[in-house]
Amino acid sequence: MMEGVFQVGWGVRLGWMVLLLAPVLRGQVVELSGGTSTLYQSQGAMLKLHGDGYESGLSGGMADGHLLAGAYFRRVTPKSTYTAGMQDFNFNLPTDLFSGDHRLTMVGLGVKTKVGVAQVQGFLGASSPRMDSPFVQGFTRLVPAAAVLMKTSLSRSLSISTQLFDSKQLTLIESAEWKPQRALAFAVSGGFAGNQHYAAASMEMKRPRQDLAVEYISAGDEFKRTGTQADQALEFIRENLSYTYRSSLAPRFTFTLIRQNFLVPGSTMVPVATYPISTDFPAPEPVVVPAAVSGLDEVSLVEQVKKLQLSQSVFHSSYEGESNVAFAVAATMPLTRRAEVQGSFFKSYLLRSGGRSVSSLVTTVRERLTGRLSVSETINYSGGQATVGFGGALLSGFGSVSVDYQTVYVATRPENPFQQSLMLDVQMSVLGRMLVHVGTLVGPTGKLLYTADARAAQGFSHAPRTEATHHKVGESVLAVRVVDEAGRPVEGAAIDMGGTIGFTDSGGNFVLREKKPSLHACRVAVEEFLDGRSYRVISAPMQLASARVVQAPAVIVVTVSSP
């Protein structure tokens, strides 16, 4: 309780500072957002002020059972960026071809500037575990910390970097990166975090028809590059590889090969006593869970033979002495101009538990009745039983509604990794200013989760009024946002809309403008992602709709393939 009072107290003080400075700075855009979600285990709201050369924000709510509050003020000049309050500090290395974002929430004073040919970022204050979501950002359990990141360009193709972090223990990692060509890069990294060593080497190549990413990492069993549990990203170890080949001749196909190993840090568990503690019956001793290496192998092939699309995938995962092999085969073919059928077969084997297997057969028929209305029927046969589900999508002047069934691979359930779930997505525009969104999705553990949020923005301009220019072309807008399980945007994600592929920007967003509202089939083309890593889809709508009204983007959740 005292921890919650402490963090909220500091958050309120920072918030008052932001709000007192805002009128002086004459904010140009005020953005208010809020929501609740079982995916992020959070609920709360954020207020942001955007202006010429500055940004400030205030947030409050609950995340994972913690009461949070935080605020920040950021000033941007042509040469430097200054931050007071909360900020993210990125500890990624050039050899991180498969790792997720290694970020910390820092609270204090920070600066990012350029000194000669070096880019320098410094911070002084405290670090805290990341306890944020799209709805609330805050901090808990502040620990004094200081950090310096420096990257120096020795030539157009060669750069070196230093990462120094000092908190509960000292971390120092040096890196070098060489890019002899635009689509070819080599990198090495080495250093230590506390008493844990770290060394890595990587190579990444991107070609029009081939992509290759390979790395080898040697690290201590308890290595954590920031030396604190605040960094929740996985540390990959040993050999890791991702290779993709795309055929340019008919029949067109995409072949993908993946191998990944990552380190699951050890932990200490304190059992809960089921009896009164006394001298004769002392409390249970803590149980030490040792660190372990988990692995994933995947081979997939996607073929396009005229109007028929075929896909086959084989998965092998291992963790804590258990091993699983799974197969997935799917075929999609149009029946008429407005209807298509998709058949999928899934089978998995639990290798070290007597070879027990689970299989399911799924058939889905979709039909587009009009440009605004489509319906679907799904039949799932598994375990000797058949289930039937109905769905569809509706696009109207106030928003869109879609209901569909999806089968996802949940690697954390080796006994039955393929799971079918009902997916709901509702988007509405209220009074032309507020966007309301409600959706369901499947979490990493296979549990059906929900997200509900609202967002509104108001601009204030002191410029003279001018006549607005109206454009007749592209009045209907389709918006997509691709994020990972932590809500971080995924850049270069590929969205296939009936043969037309679009890619997301650095904010994870893709926008398509059309002359009139319409529905599009949606497929997340994970084999086409631009960052070279292997992804699998946690949640995605089967259809996307464009509309003339402003609507919240359809959210697609993906994760880097891992068991």
Quote the CA–CA distance of 450 and 238 in Å, as a whole number. 36
Q: What is the CATH architecture assignment of 473-560?
A: Sandwich (2.60)
Over the stretch 358-388, which tens digit does the pLDDT of each residue have? Answer: 888 989 998 988 877 889 888 888 877 888 8
Characterize the bridge pairing of strands 158-166 and 143-153.
antiparallel
Over the stretch 258-294, which tens digit does the pLDDT of each residue have? Answer: 998 877 655 444 444 444 444 554 545 554 445 567 7
Report the alpha-carbon angle 18-24-26, nearest 5: 95
Is the alpha carbon torsion for 467, 473, 478, 479 positive or negative? negative
Report the alpha-carbon angle 488-492-498, nearest 5: 115
Domain positions in the chain are 473-560
Q: What is the pLDDT of residue 459?
A: 57
Quote the CA–CA distance of 131 and 64 in Å, as a whole number. 8
Is the alpha carbon torsion for 489, 259, 344, 348 positive or negative? negative
Q: Which helix (H) or strand (E) holds 232?
A: none
Q: How many CB atoms lie within 10 A of CB 248?
A: 7
What's the DSSP call for residue 173?
A: E
Q: Which residue has the higher pLDDT, 355 or 435?
A: 435
Over the stretch 128-179, which tens digit does the pLDDT of each residue have? Answer: 765 556 667 777 677 888 999 999 999 989 999 999 988 878 889 999 999 9
SS3 of 106-140: the string is EEEEEEEEEECCEEEEEEEEEEECCCCCCCCCCCC
pTM: 0.64
CA atoms within 13 A on the CB side of 93: 30
Q: How many CB atoms lie within 10 A of CB 3?
A: 12
Over the stretch 76-91, which tens digit does the pLDDT of each residue have? Answer: 888 888 999 888 777 8
Quote the CA–CA distance of 50 and 30 in Å, as a whole number. 7
